[in-house]
Structure 1
Amino acid sequence: MMRGMGNMNNMMKQMKKMEKQLAEEQKVMEAKDFTGVSPDEMVKVTFAGKRVMTDMTIDPKAIDPDDPDMLSDLVLAAVNDALGQIDVEGKQTLDKYSNGLPK
């Protein structure tokens, strides 16, 4: 066996182990729920970690027939809040495994 091959094999084993751990953490995250809220919590949405909306609650006070744009803005704010949480958690998980790797 050539010098350095043992190190390469160990490195490959470590990479496979890290890959498996990352896949497990992604499964856990995908099973988690993320709740986004609008200002004044008039609209709440829940997303699964897979970025699929699973629930929405709208406070009746948010439904103004003369101002449908307000409700749209509240829904957008709540959805973006939840998706932002998913992005942050996903990045934190990836960063754990990419720390020290060349960019």
Structure 2
Amino acid sequence: MKLGGGLKDLMKQAEKLKEDMEKVQNEAGEEIVEASSGGGMVTVTAKAKGEIMSIRIDPEIAGDKDTEMLEDLLGAAVNEALLRGKKMMKEKISEVTSGLGLPPGLL
């Protein structure tokens, strides 16, 4: 009987850990980070969770091109690539863990 109670406690701890991790991920994921390259000629602003907020390109390196449209297109393409990558990882993890009998969403 003690074993069953221990397992129940372990499952409760695992569920609490999952909830705590989700809370931290959600809160930290909204933090904003910024990185530059080329001596500041290209600057990317993103949320820590991986969502690109903006891309700024110094007009000098774009010549007479429409930098605003280029920045928007780059941001959209990068966000789509990141989204597809996350989806693929989730599917692969689900394939590996599907036979473990874990509660849905635990991993």
Q: Which moves more between the two structures, 56-65 or 42-51?
A: 56-65
Q: Deviations over 1:7-28 (max 9, x none)?
A: 1111111101100111001101
Identity among equivalent positions (%) equals: 27
Q: Distance in 1 between matches of 2:15 and 2:5?
A: 15
Q: Which runs of 4+ in 1 moved over 4 A?
A: none
Report matched runs for 1:1-103 at 5 Å.
2-64=1-63
Structure 1: gaps spanning 5 or more residues: 66-74, 84-103
User: In the aligned structure 2, how far is the partner of 1:25 from the partner of 1:37?
Assistant: 26
Pairwise CA RMSD: 2.9
In 1, distance between residues paired with 2:12 and 2:2?
17
Q: Offset at 1:6?
A: 1.5
Name which structure has the greater RCO, CA cutoff 8 Å, separation 6+. 1
Paired residues, number? 71
1:71-100 superposed Cα distances (whole Å, 9 cap, x missing partner):
xxxx8xxx7xxx8xxxxxxxxxxxxxxxxx
Which amino acid in structure 2 is aligned with residue 32 of structure 1? Answer: E
Question: Where do 5+ consecutive residues of structure 2 fail to align?
Answer: 65-73, 83-107
Instruction: Report how far residue 46 of structure 1 moved.
Output: 0.8
TM-score, normalised relative to structure 2: 0.52
